[in-house]
Amino acid sequence: MVQKESESILRPNWQDVRFGNIFPKAGTATRYKTGDWRSERPIVDREKCNKCGLCWLYCPDGAMEILEDGYYEPDLYHCKGCGICANICAKKAITMREEGA
């Protein structure tokens, strides 16, 4: 009825997805890799960063992580490279670098 959590998630038959829009677990979006959508990645300059946390607050995907030393780094498995963090940073400590450049 509800999708079984197995290989069949990726290529189910219609009989397996009668309640196809319901998935029997919560928080499953974290397993969905969106990092490969990115064309640019944020680079944090620790010399300029004052650990204010604006990038963490504004990231629409919750992809900015707080490190133990209080600095911030993008979670590149999920970061889509939108650049909001770089745009909002008051200290201009984040720059976007083209992937593969």
Q: Which stretch binds another protein (CB under 8 A): 7-15, 57-65, 68-76, 92-100?
A: 7-15
Cα–Cα distance measured from residue 15 to residue 1, given in angstroms and rounded to the nearest whole number: 8
Q: Rule CB under 8 A: is residue 62 a binding residue for another protein?
A: no
Whichever of 17 and 49 has its CB closer to another protein, that residue is 17
Q: Which amino acid is at 28?
A: T
H-helix or E-strand containing 84? helix 84-88
Report if residue 2 touches another protein, rule: CB under 8 A: yes
11 binds another protein (CB under 8 A): yes
